[in-house]
Structures are given as C-alpha cells and as structure tokens.
Amino acid sequence: MAAVGRLPSAAVALLLALLCLAGTSAATNVTYDHRALVIDGVRRVLVSGSIHYPRSTPDMWPGLMQKAKDGGLDMVETYVFWDVHEPVRGQYDFEGRNDLVRFVKAAADAGLYVHLRIGPYVCAEWNYGGFPLWLHFIPGIKFRTDNEPFKTEMQRFTEKVVATMKGAGLYASQGGPIILSQIENEYGNIDWQYGDAGKSYMRWAAGMAVALDTGVPWVMCQQADAPAPLINTCNGFYCDQFTPSLPSSPKLWTENWSGWFLSFGGAVPYRPTEDLAFAVARFYQRGGTLQNYYMYHGGTNFGRSSGGPFISTSYDYDAPIDEYGLVRQPKWGHLRDVHKAIKMCEPALIATNPSYMSLGQNAEAHVYRAGSLCAAFLANMDEQSDKTVTFNGKAYKLPAWSVSVLPDCKNVVLNTAQINSQVASTQMRNLGFRTQASDGSSVETELASSTWSYAVEPVGITKENAMTKPGLMEQINTTADASDFLWYSTSVVIKGGELYLNGSQSNLLVNSLGHVLQVFINGKFAGSSKGNASSSLISLTTPVTLVPGKNKIDLLSATVGLTNYGAFFDLVGAGITGPVKLTGPKGMLDLSSADWTYQIGLRGEDLHLYNPSEASPEWVSDNSYPTNYPLTWYKSKFTAPAGDDPVAIDFTGMGKGEAWVNGQSIGRYWPTNISPQSGCVNSCNYRGTYSAKKCLKKCGQPSQILYHVPRSFLQPGSNDIVLFEQFGGDPSKISFTTKQTESVCAHVSEDHPDQIDSWISPQQKLQRSGPALRLECPKEGQVISSIKFASFGTPSGTCGSYSHGECSSSQALAVAQEACVGVSSCSLPVSAKNFGDPCRGVTKSLVVEAACS
C-alpha cells in the first residue's frame, strides 16, 4: 500500500475502483464431464427453468427471478428472439421488454445462472420461429441449410448477441451468470429433410459458435450427431432414457415440458404435478445432470408475437409460475420439494454412476454409492398398482407411477406422488369497467354507450399505395407480415339475364391457405370462415346477392401468427391463392386470374388509431355506437384497478381482434373461438405416460377469454383502451378482473413423508415427528383469518369443495383454528395424537382450507 500512496489521489481512486470491480466479478471456469457441470472446480447437478423476457415485462423480472430462486432453481433459460432485436436489418432494439442485458442481470441479482439459447431459430410457438420477416426477402436465401446468404445473416446476428453479452460482462468467463449457450434448436428433428446440406450446415453452426470464444460450453438440443465439443441434449415430456452421443458429455434435458401451449379453438391443456415430479426424479435417478422446465413461467404473447398459426395470446403453459407471475400451487411448491430432495442427494450424484437394481415387475432402484456417500431412488413405473418393495432389507411403499428419494439410502424424504405442498384456490374477481367522473373520481360503469368512441374501418381499398395485378397473390410475400390483414378486391359486371343475376341462387367459392377470411359484396358482409391449429386451409362457399351492373367483391384475409416449426416452415404460405369462383344455376365464372387490387393492412393501422396520444378526426363520439358490426374500432378511458393484484380483461361480448392499453398491444383476442365439446376429463389421472392431449379442460368453452394487462402498462388516473373488432362485438360487455387467492388448502396423509425441510435443518431433524400439514398465506403481511374447512379421517374433494368422509375427527376444526388463525403460516402434525383416532386401523388424512387477509 506504500507504493500506492505515492500515486496521485485520482489514480488511487481509479485503481481502488478497478480492484473492487475485479473482486466482485471474478472469472468463472465452466467445464463438464459425463456426470456433472464443473463450475470453478465444483461439480454440480443443476435445476433450471425457462422464462422468456419478451413474454413478461421488466417490472416483473425481479419477482419472477426471486420466485424461481425460492422454488429451488439454480438457473434460468431463455431463447434470444431475433425478430424483436432486429426488426429492420441493421437496426437493433434492446430496450424495454427486449432488454436482454437487464434480464440476464436480473437473474444474476437473484443468484441464478443463465443458459442463453441464441438459436437464432427458436420455434417457441413464436411468430415465424423468431426469424425477422426481412430475412425471407434476401436474394437467394434458404433457411437453416448450407446456404451462404442465410449463414452470413445467422452469423452476423449471433456475433451481435455474443458481443452484447460480452460488452456487459455477462459470460461466466467474465464473472457473469451465463454458464451455457445454445446454437440452433431441435434441428435434428428435421435435418434429414435437408439432406447432406443440412448436415454440413449443422457442423458449420457448431464451429461458428465455438469460434466466438464465449468461454462457456455450447449445446445443441435434439441433435444426436452434434460434433464435439458441443453437448447434445434432450427435449420432451420424459428424458430419463436419453443418452448423450459422446461418452464425455453430461446428460442434459433442455426442455421438460411442464404443460403444453394453448391454441385458439383448442381446449386448455395441463400436466398433473405428480407426473411432472415423476419425470424429474426419474431423470436424476438415471444419471441426469441438468434439467430445465419449459416453461417455468410462460407469460403472454403480446402484440402479434404468437406463432403457430392460431397460438393463443396466453402462453401460460401450466407452468409453476402462472401467466400473471403468481406461483401455481401445488405445482410450484411440490417441485420445490423435489429440488430440495435432489440437492440432498447431490454429493453422491456427482461422485459416481448409478447402479441398477430390480425391485420386481415395473419397479427398480438406482443407487449412487461412493465411499460413505449413498443416495437411492426407488421407482414404481406401474400405471395402476401401488407396490411394497424391499430395498436393503427394508420394506417401502411406492404409489403407482412414483419415485421415492432416499438421500441416505435409508429414509424417504420425498415421494413424487405424495404432495405435501399447499394448494391455492384462485378466482378472477370481476370489477366491471371503471371510468373517470367529471370530478376526477373513479366510477364503476356497465360501459354505457357514452363511454365509447368509435371509428368504422372502411371495406376494401382506401390507400393510395394499393397495387393492382392479375391473379391472386400469396399473403406473406405481399405483406411481409407488416399487418395481419390483406385486402383482395375485384369487380364483376353483371348484364341483364346473365346466370349470376339470380340473387340468392349465386354462390361465391373462395379457397385460401388461411388463416381467417371475410367476404364483402358491394360493401356488405356476406360470409366468413377460419382455419384451425390442425389445418389453416379454408374453403368457403357463401351465397351472394349480385345486382345488374358493376359488383364489387372485397375479400379480407387475416393471419393469426405465422408458422414456427418444421422443415421449410418459412415457405408455408397464407392468404387467398384460389380458386375464387362465382357459380349460378347456369354456369360458373372463375375470377382467379382477374385483375385484383391489393391493400396491405387497415386504414386505422396507418392512422395509428391504436395510439391514443395521436388525435384523429376518424373517432366519433355519439350517444350511441355500433355494436356487432364488423371492422370497427372502439376507444374509451378507464381507471386502473386498485392494489397490486394481477389485472386481466374479460372479453366476453367481443368477437375477434386486437387490444391496446395506453398504446401497448396486449395481443389478439378471440373469445368466440370455442374449443371442441369432447376430449376433456373431470379429473386427469397422473398415472401413465403424459401427452399433450391427455389432460384437457374447458371443452365447449372459449379457448381464452381473459387477457393479461401487466401493471406496468397501467398508469395512475386515466388510462386509454383501444379495440379493433374484426367480426363484431359489444364493448359494453367487457370488464376488468383481478386475480386473487381465495383459499389456501392442503391434504396430507399419515403415509406421506415428513415435510422436506425437517430433513435439511439439523435442529428440525431432532424434532421430526412424522408428516405435517403446512399452510402459508401467499402475500407478505397477510395472516390466516379463518378456517373454512378441516377434517381428519377420510375426507375427499378438492380445494374449495372438500367434504367429510365416513370417518372424521370432531376435533379437527378446533385444532386447526387454534394453531392457524392469526398467524401467517402454521404447521399441523398429521397424527391421531393431535386429533384423536376416529377410525382405528384406517390410514387417515388431514385436510384444511383457510382464508387469508
């Protein structure tokens, strides 16, 4: 320090600052072997979860990261979305929801590592797979193959992302949180369709990535022939049977699908907690090193970002953290307990390979033994029958389709089918629609006509830049996805006595690649049709009324997200490609080759009617406004719901369109798209192999009726809402809702393991007394205000609808009230010593439902 003292004071300050900085961001060395990721020499088994930054908001990120950390995650995983970062070639956007640096730093602030999946193809049910549309128009380009124009653009963007991360010091080699990166995405699923050029492209991509010198390992998911040093990884509902292609690579699971995505027109998929926990435990049982939930928080497809086509605006994915940022119980809590159990086994898991032991038909054990370390996993793969197995001379009960975790090869700390975590019963509280009175106060209204202004979107061609060409043009090549909408307009002249003059006896046939079609004859609506997630193709035959002389035919084609998956997905078209025919009792007229005039987008889009800060004379403020009328814009003001509960809009009464709050698009709405009447189950059995169609709910109902409005979109006082209604609706029927927890519940039996935390804390180990039911209020500052239900014996039902069984203790309610009311959390031993024994010789359960305030 004496030498430092001779420097000028400014130099001393600079040196000390540099020394401080170096001390807080020391480089981390990340390597791997076949059993572990090695981080600064420490061998690790990790748990990760996907959170996509554009599907939430910067204000949400710290809370999401903390919930991920509290849920037992070591790392978050995200794609990098090329289209949002480079909407125009060479013009970059890393601001707001696209602020990738801020997102990665939020993960680091919560003590989480990051896996950066650059791709840059992402799939992700994202529009065009995450590729910007301008890429499609580069001369000579062919996507995802050995094509120089594509490789040039892919490398340029990948280098931009890596440089951005390096510039912020975010790679582990710089002291940052990024410990893994991914290049390409699920290419092995379809590379055979590209032939030898696909294989050479894959090898090029791997070499290009490694040459970027990030200092962290690279992975390729679903790529069995990924060249060293890249690690090939698994995606799927189950990956326990996956084996890396290289013996030196660890077993990584980049996508454990925690649920499934929702499509407009589809029922809502969900994945039982017990099955997801089973899949996780089986993966680590059979040598897994890292597994990642896809998704841990799904979020929202704001704007026109959803892909598919027909992917819904909600990307909830039945994830452990729901679309609104609230933990989904019991999934979040039970998986947290699974993670704790895995971490208790970690010293043994990283030390050796598992040894296999049969425990009978459909039952097996895997044991990790190294010196004094021993951890075991006992699995019952039977889809129906519970089993009692013998392991190390001791009997263990294994429910069907479950894994028991024994960190010491003796004691069961967790069984995947026995949930100790609490359940939350939530509700969407309808708040109506709050507007501002003349004195500035907030007033709830049923949306009287005086609260809405409107503007009518004109039918057909209104723009000067419209173009006329013979024949029918494919939509995406015409619009470059600048808008969902493309007008096709032509006319036909009917002379007296011609076959088409017979009014209702004339029909118009229109064939389209999709996704939505509306027909207008002489400015009047004449029919519509839509595709679906299984097939976007449309074949519409609609009766039309023609008049003598000139008849105008206007066809409005609309996309609902562009295709995001499959070989050559970029070549999948949309729009009206024909034929288009007029038919009558005396013949047919093919209009497919006629002159058609094309208009990209809506007039209201060009006028920015969605932006309330831009005044427009188009808006009409009358005492009444048109309802159930197609192509109508609506605008109103409202007061944001009080408090901090998540906000959504219930679009009951509307048809299909897009909504903006204070100029920010909350996405496409489509409450009239109803799911099939069949295919749902009242209660989905978690036992047995899960698939995307196994567990469905809300059959015969709108696929999505609630649309998330992030709190950061709202402002104090007056807020603006703008709707564009394509089909026709009544905005007086929409309402704001807030998501609130109605009850917290738990159901624990005498057969359940002890609470996982009782095995972790040395102090609690001494106090362990068997299984316990634990309840905790979801919000800080809340306490349990009442016990709605309590039963010890043989209760049944679900949270919010429990009932007593034939066997029931009379003391249960009083005991629960004494222990829980007035405190934020409580724990009740599940024991006859606590409640009395209402039925000897019967395995009993404790159920409690509580309200918090």
Catalytic residue numbers read 186, 255
Sheet arrangement for strand 664-669:
453-456, 632-639, 718-725, 657-661, 664-669
For the chain, the residue count is: 853
- Residue 527, CA distances (Å) to 200, 474, 510, 727 in order: 49, 21, 11, 10
d(CA 840, CA 824): 33
- Residue 109, CA distances (Å) to 23, 56, 64, 75, 176 in order: 16, 18, 12, 12, 11
Q: Tell which phi-psi region holds residue 67, choosing left (phi > 0), alpha (psi between -120 and 50) or beta.
A: alpha
State CA 729 to chain mean position distance. Answer: 28
d(CA 697, CA 699): 6
Q: Residue 823: phi, psi to the nearest 5?
A: -120, 160
561 neighbors 310 (Cβ within 8 angstroms): yes
Q: What is the largest CA-CA distance in the chain?
A: 109
Which helix (H) or strand (E) segment holds residue 280: the answer is helix 273-285
The residue with tokens 């998330």 is 708
* CA angle in degrees (0–180, nearest 5) for 14-174-291: 150
The residue with tokens 């263990």 is 396
Which helix (H) or strand (E) segment holds residue 178: the answer is strand 178-183
Torsion of CA 126, 127, 132, 136, to 10 degrees: 130
Structural tokens at position 646: 């998540």
Q: At what angle do helices 148-167 and 195-210 cross, to 10 degrees?
A: 20
Q: Reduced to 3 DSSP states, what percent helix, strand and coil does the chain have, rounded to the nearest 5?
A: 20, 35, 45
Query: Would you list the DSSP string of 406-422?
Result: ETTSS---EETTS--S-
User: Which amino acid, 648?
Assistant: A
The residue with tokens 């509902």 is 237
Burial of 751 (0-12, 13-18, 19+ CB in 10 A): middle
